[in-house]
């Protein structure tokens, strides 16, 4: 059975007859021409046999949607995501159906992402969607995709408000010190108060807008866009502050690093860290990373999301609901190094 959106199922048809049925058909056809010349009979039976042997299984074709930026400043991350999806489809080919990618551009813009999602979901063969890659776009398309009933694997942040807030709190718990400044919360994240974050994490959390407001904190968590994040961090460093800077998959975006170096103009970017939630435990990431040394961790997130979508569609047993948080450091060359993998609460 092939699981489709809105609880629908489609029975898979092999399109081929059993071997016994083919042989029986061959015998019957040959018997009907017993009065024909021997040569004609031999040629006919040979051609008929070849036609039966050439019959191939016909499997339904489904599409795995990818919402990512393929135009503009963030296009490199979009093409990295598409490459990761294609790799997952090649590494985990489903037996019951054929899956192909359908990639649509979001241009890293919420309104554009919403139109792309609506267009994608008009195609009845789309049974799963991976992306968008940025938090504001995830929020913009959430209602449309959830209502469609298709399997959804968003990136950058979880689809639900509760899961997104849990991720923020888990990152804060891993950050050094007790005085934590959070900036960029309005960029597609749950609008949680500083008092609630403080209560849930046991740390003193403040919400700040300007880099100067976070200069005295023990660490800063940035939840905004890559472009604004580079601007925020550069201002923080130009103030002479070496406070640890933390963020989410934003730091895995090539745009973040390139804009940061441009704005710093030779100044040190200081200690930078970022974290992503893995779809399951960290063992899968460690295996993948050892075989893909040059690929960014954000590519693995798309790779794993595609694999999980295929498992959901096929009705396979999924891994346990336990998930891990992977924490990386970002060096001067823009390379990410794994620091730790911890269990998400």
What is the rounded CA–CA span in Å between residue 69 and residue 71?
Answer: 6
Out of 2-16, 54-68, 104-118, give the one with best mean pLDDT.
Answer: 104-118
pLDDT band, residue 29 (cuts 50/70/90): very low
Write the DSSP string, 213-276: GGTTSSEEEE-S-HHHHHHHHHHHHHTT----EEESGGGGSHHHHHHHHHHHTTS----EEEEE
pLDDT digits (tens, 9 = 90+) for 165-180: 999 999 999 999 999 9
Q: Where are the domains of the chain?
A: 2-54, 161-280+320-344
CATH of 161-280+320-344, one of 1.10.10.10, 3.40.50.2300, 2.60.40.420, 3.30.390.10: 3.40.50.2300
Q: Name all contacts of 204-209 with Cβ < 8 Å and 24+ positions apart.
A: 204/178, 204/179, 204/180, 205/172, 205/180, 205/181, 206/179, 206/180, 206/181, 206/182, 207/181, 207/182, 207/183, 208/181, 208/182, 208/183, 209/183
pLDDT digits (tens, 9 = 90+) for 66-121: 999 999 999 999 999 999 999 999 998 888 889 999 999 999 999 999 999 999 99
CA distance from start to end of the chain: 34
Of 138, 140, 201, 130, give the one whose Cα is nearest residue 172.
Answer: 201
Report pTM.
0.78
Of 332, 322, 138, 302, give the one whose Cα is nearest residue 225.
Answer: 138
pLDDT score at 18: 40
By the 8 A CB rule, do 255 and 77 touch? Answer: yes
Enter the DSSP assignment of 319. Answer: P
Which value, in Å, is the radius of gyration of the alpha carbons in the chain? Answer: 26
């Amino acid at each position: 059975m092939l699981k489709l959106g809105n609880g629908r199922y489609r029975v898979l048809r092999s399109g081929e007859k059993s071997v016994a049925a083919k042989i029986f058909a061959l015998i019957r056809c040959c018997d009907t021409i017993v009065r024909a010349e021997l040569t004609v009979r031999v040629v006919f039976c040979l051609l008929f046999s070849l036609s039966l042997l050439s019959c191939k299984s016909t499997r339904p074709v489904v599409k795995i949607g990818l919402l990512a930026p393929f135009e503009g400043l963030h296009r490199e991350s979009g093409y990295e995501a598409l490459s990761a999806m294609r790799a997952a489809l090649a590494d985990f080919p489903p037996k019951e159906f054929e899956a192909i990618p359908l990639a649509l551009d979001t241009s890293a813009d919420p309104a554009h992402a919403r139109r792309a999602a609506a267009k994608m979901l008009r195609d009845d063969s789309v049974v799963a969607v991976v992306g968008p890659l940025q938090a504001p776009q995830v929020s913009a398309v959430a209602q449309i995709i959830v209502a469609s009933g298709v399997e959804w694997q968003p990136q950058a942040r979880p689809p639900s408000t509760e899961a997104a807030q849990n991720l923020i709190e888990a990152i804060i718990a891993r950050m050094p010190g007790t005085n934590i400044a959070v900036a960029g919360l309005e960029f597609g994240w749950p609008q949680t108060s500083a008092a609630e974050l403080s209560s849930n994490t046991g740390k003193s959390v403040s919400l700040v807008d300007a880099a100067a407001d976070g200069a005295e904190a023990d660490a800063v968590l940035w939840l905004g866009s890559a472009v604004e994040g580079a601007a925020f961090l550069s201002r923080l460093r130009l103030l002479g502050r070496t406070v640890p800077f933390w963020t989410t998959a934003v730091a895995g975006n090539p745009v973040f690093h390139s804009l940061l170096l441009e704005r710093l103009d030779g100044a040190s970017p200081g200690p930078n860290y970022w974290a992503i939630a893995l779809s399951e435990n960290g063992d899968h990431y460690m295996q993948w990373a050892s075989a893909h040394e040059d690929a960014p961790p954000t590519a693995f997130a798309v790779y794993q999301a595609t694999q999980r979508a295929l498992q959901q569609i096929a009705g396979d047993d999924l891994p346990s609901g336990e998930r891990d948080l992977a924490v990386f450091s970002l060096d001067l060359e823009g390379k990410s190094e794994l620091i730790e993998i911890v269990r998400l609460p």
